[in-house]
Amino acid sequence: MAKYTSIGGQALIEGIMMKSPEKTALAVRVPDGSIDVSYLNQKSIKEKYKILKAPVLRGIVSYIESMVQGYKAMMLSADKSGFTDLEEEEEKRDPKKQSSIVNAVMVIGSVLGVALAVVLFMLIPRLVVGGIEMLFDVTLTKIARSGIEQLLKLAVFVGYVWLITFMKDIKRVFMYHGAEHKTIFCYEKGLPLTVENVRKQKRFHPRCGTSFLILMILISVIFSTLVQMIFPQVYSIEWLWVIVKILLLPLICGVGFEVLRFCGKYDNIVTKIISAPGLWLQRLTTKEPEDSMIEIAIAALRACEPKTPDVDRSIDNKEEEN
């Protein structure tokens, strides 16, 4: 039976980032058709403060660090792939103006992103549940209201993911996502990392970030229900409930990380049930890749592979002998 490796990845713009315990590598298809491989700094604050390696805390830190590193990798891939050539031309004409515009757009985008998340995932579900009670002249229990809200959040999230799959550029990112998963599966099975071998693998992996997002929503249902059972009055005060939900996010991230880690280590009926929703959603967030994308994934994985692999890679030694 194949063993899950600690190597993970992220699809980028015309590229893939692969991360192992030892290093983080980026492989990007550059305009001349060749593959550019580079590395990112992998120092973690957990190395400085050992307490942050404790269960749950390590999940919170890892999530924040992965978001920051993922953003840097995405910007770097956009630059290397030529995606930002037009912006660079504008910057050459007027560097100060272009820099100011970019900074302003980034700040506004971040603020609007947070505001949109609060509206979509906190306020709208609350308002919809209130509308259902008025429309059907019923009074739902607090737990029932919370359950319906969480289902609405899940529906909004899945609907959003489904809609962006129709965007050409996003579809290509999802194809790279599929190449990443297939390559990791091939690596875990101890097969030679060739395009042919990778192409045959599944594109749905239980340790995917998509599964993590679904887990966060499902875990938030449990936490929200517990809070309402312990502090029943909190739900009645709308602004306080929103604050409580925001404060719970780090804890939900930490617990979600531990659950995903558990699913990555073991393969049994329990982990299969837990992983099922995330694997289903990956039908939207991963697409069958082109061979050129698989080449990128292989290059990224080989570049980040630890000196002592955590899976059986004896096949690599045989290839070197030949």
> What's the angle, vertex CA 69, arms to CA 81 and CA 79, rounded to 5?
15
pLDDT in tens, 245-281: 778 888 888 888 888 878 777 778 888 888 888 888 8
Q: How far is CA 7 from CA 184, 217, 304, in A?
A: 8, 25, 8
Closest residue by Cα to residue 217 from 149, 164, 128: 149
Q: Model's pTM, two decimal places?
A: 0.79
| DSSP-based three-state secondary structure for 23 | coil
Closest residue by Cα to residue 18 from 45, 46, 43, 37: 37
Which string of DSSP letters, residue by residue, matches 241-262? HHHHHHHHHHHHHHHHHHHHHH
pLDDT of residue 195: 96
pLDDT of residue 11: 93
pLDDT in tens, 184-239: 999 999 999 999 999 999 999 877 877 777 778 788 878 877 887 788 788 777 77
Which string of DSSP letters, residue by residue, matches 260-303? HHHHHH--SHHHHHHHHHHHHHHHHH--PPPHHHHHHHHHHHHH
pLDDT of residue 322: 58
Query: CB–CB of 45/65 below 8 Å?
Result: yes
Query: What's the half-sphere exposure (Cβ side, CA atoms, 13 Å) at 283?
Result: 6
Please say if the pLDDT value at position 128 is more than 90: no
Residues paired with 11 in a beta bridge: 16
Give percent of the chain with pLDDT exceeding 70.
84
Please say if the pLDDT value at position 9 is more than 80: yes
